[in-house]
Chains A and B, each alone.
Chain A
Amino acid sequence: MSTPLLAIPVVVPIFGAALSILVGFRRELQRLVTIAALSVTVVVSIIVLIRADEHGHLVANSGGWAAPLGIALIVDRFAAIMLVVSAVVLLIVAIYAIGQAGEERERVSFHPLYLVLAAGVSASFVTGDLFNLFVAFEMMLAASYVLITLGGRPDQVRAGMTYVVISLVASTLFITSLALLYAATGTVNMADLAGRLAEIDPALRHGFSIMLLIVFGIKAGLFPLFFWLPDSYPTAPGPVTAIFAGLLTKVGVYAIIRTQTLMFPPGDGGANWGDDVLLWVAAATMIIGVIGAIAQDDMKRILAFHIISQIGYMIMGLGMFTVVGVAAAVFYVIHHIVVKTALFLVAGLVDHRAGSSRLSSVGGLVRTAPMIAALFAVPALSLAGLPPFSGFLAKFALVDAGLSQGSSAIVAVALAVGLFTLFSMTKIWTGAFWGSAETEPERAPRTTDRFGGPPLMVLATLSLVAISISFSIWAGPIHELSQRAAEDLLNPAGYINAVLREAAP
């Protein structure tokens, strides 16, 4: 089904960004523009999800040029789910950022950049063209480069440099892969590529599969390409870290799932070694991430290492290439975006309240700020996979998928890593919420706030935590939706037809 609706989640934030620069002299107007643009994005994304679930696929040809000549925008159920979750998270984090008065957020450029980031994230989900995906990535990354270094503190510059250089290397590799793909097939439209890649030499196809896996693996933080992530993310301002941790790596995961299922489906003549590679990578990513977290002292860095181990779970679901496996991965991605962002928002609250996010300089928050403790406990237990939270359901779906396929080794790894995650969460709990501070925090604690922080920040965190709880309440419908999304992903014929059928109206 064809609809111009798909362009709105990209176009509205971009126009919002332009407007935000124009009204840069009035902070209130900028805030209004941000909230309005993101609210429109949320509403349109929900409409897109409902209609995509109804029709299977929504297609829009930009400029009226039919695919594969024009740039096709296509949304299937998976992309629509990602669109909704990312739009909601972006809106909530924007509210949190407005609530946090601070030097970085007071800068004129924060709001426009944030909207460009939002547009880039949405564009990555709606595009059906590999080169357009590159442009969307660059849009998102260019905004993130500035956001991560906004303020220009020495640690930010150092970490930002790592981040920018690594992202640029990934982008260069992406262009290289695109050039080679175009030379081999003569197209960069993903649906068209899927058909043409099936005709070329399998060895060459494996090469492309691995190249794209490396490109997106750098963005997603896969083993062994994750080194930049825990160094760079924690230095950004709280809300920025939260949105990076929650969304940016997951855009990489989305791209991996999209390309691997659409363009390199398994089982077509000796491609099976590639699937095992994904499972091995998943296991290594889970273990390395969780072990890296043990040595850390800073709350944000512990959480940053856990992003890596959680990415491993998603790739594990994909690596099985069964409907249950991919459905579990989709569910895991949704759960993880919300829970991880919530945890980083809590880390921001702790930082705001206690003057530091370092476990050795924070203590006793459960008495002085019980609200923050409660807000931390729910997503932390969810991340570790304890029932009845969404993390338990996501992990259960994965383990179930793994056992039904007979891959018990990866299931054992997943369960052991879950235990270590719980260990890290209890470490944060005992360090920051129980016990007492051993060293002085970097800034003076602020103890005047009634709810443990400025009301807007607490409200934003609370709503994300509430959403994560609602995932366990409506786990049935959400899992069924993931199931349908996974069926679409593993039967790419529908996607390909939806794009290319528009070519001959």
Chain B
Amino acid sequence: MSLALAAVTAILFASGTWLLLQRRLTRIIIGIGLLGHGANLLLVTSGGRAGNPPILDGTVGSPAAYSDPLPQALALTAIVITFGVTAFLLALGYRSWQINSDDKVEDDLEDRMVARRNELDGPEGPIDDGDPETNEFEVEEDAQP
């Protein structure tokens, strides 16, 4: 494995991980993309050194002169899958932006409710606090253009 490719893989993984830990959805998506690239690069380099294209043309030399085709095929498959899923993620991100006008990832609604229940609950048990935010799941579908 060439040192340059190893270094690039490391950089892609590091920056991908950092972006993934952000609160902004766009950064998370870019982070996922970078991580995917890093993994695919690692897959390509796992095949060993570069060599001749592995096509048999009658002049069969030493197998060591050819590059290993399998990791390349695997990387191609992985790239296609990453591409498709990233496209879906972007669509989901766009939908999220349509709904919230913001690409910040919110806390889970139920988690917030469970956390708030301690404050709201008297000794009588759960009470309805009349706050639509805590007992309302049905949000208008108007957000669709």
- Residues of A in contact with B (beta carbons under 8 Å apart): 131, 134-135, 138, 141-142, 145-146, 149, 152-155, 157-162, 164-165, 168-169, 171-173, 175-176, 178-180, 182-183, 188, 231, 234, 295-298, 301, 360, 438-439, 442-443
Contacts and interface: CB of A to CB of B under 8 A. Distances in A.
A169 B144 CA distance: 29
Contact of A157 (B45, B96, B110): B96
B74 A188 contact: yes
A439 B85 contact: no
Interface string B11-22: 000000000100
Tell me what chain B mostly uses at the interface: helix, strand, loop, or mixed.
helix
Nearest to A181: B46
B100 A154 contact: yes
Contacts, number: 124
B62 to A, nearest CB: 17
B110 A298 contact: yes
A178 B77 CA distance: 13
Given A154-B100, A442-B138, A179 B42 contact: yes
Given A153-B139, A182-B47, A161 B36 contact: no
Interface in B97-122: 99-100, 105-106, 108-111, 113-114, 117
A231 B110 contact: yes
Contacts of B74: 131, 178, 182, 188
Contacts of B126: 297, 360, 438
B25 to A, nearest CB: 7
A330 to B, nearest CB: 30
Contact of A175 (B39, B47, B89, B117): B39
B43 A175 contact: yes
Contacts of B47: 182
* Most central of A145, A175, A443 by chain B CB within 10 Å: A175
A264 to B, nearest CB: 20
B42 A180 contact: yes
A296 B110 contact: yes
Contact of B89 (A159, A164, A297): A164
Contacts of A160: 92
B144 A442 contact: no
A172 B46 contact: no
Nearest to A183: B46
A295 B114 contact: yes
Contact of B128 (A141, A178, A439, A442): A439
Given A154-B139, A161-B92, A178-B43, 13 more contacts: A131-B77, A145-B85, A146-B88, A149-B92, A159-B108, A172-B32, A179-B42, A179-B43, A183-B45, A183-B48, A231-B110, A301-B110, A442-B138
Tell me what chain A mostly uses at the interface: helix, strand, loop, or mixed.
helix
Contacts of B84: 142
B43 A182 contact: yes
A161 B137 CA distance: 17
Contacts of A169: 20, 32, 35
B29 to A, nearest CB: 8
Nearest to B108: A231
Contacts of B96: 157-158, 161
Nearest to B86: A168
B92 to A, nearest CB: 6
Contacts of A142: 81, 84-85, 88
Given A160-B92, A179-B43, A297-B126, A135 B105 contact: no
A442 B88 contact: no
B36 A172 contact: yes
25 contacts: A135-B77, A135-B81, A138-B81, A141-B85, A142-B88, A145-B92, A155-B109, A157-B96, A158-B109, A161-B93, A165-B20, A168-B35, A168-B85, A169-B35, A172-B39, A176-B39, A176-B42, A178-B43, A180-B42, A183-B48, A296-B114, A301-B110, A438-B126, A439-B135, A442-B136
B123 to A, nearest CB: 15
Contacts of A296: 110, 114
For the complex of A and B, the 4 pairs showing the least CB-CB separation, nearest first, are A183-B46, A175-B39, A179-B43, A179-B42
Given A155-B109, A183-B46, A231-B110, A172 B35 contact: yes
A164 B114 CA distance: 24
B89 A168 contact: yes
A157 B85 contact: no
Interface in B25-58: 25, 28, 32, 35-36, 38-40, 42-43, 45-48
Contacts of A154: 99-100, 139, 143
Contacts of A171: 81, 85
A234 B138 CA distance: 15
A363 B41 CA distance: 56
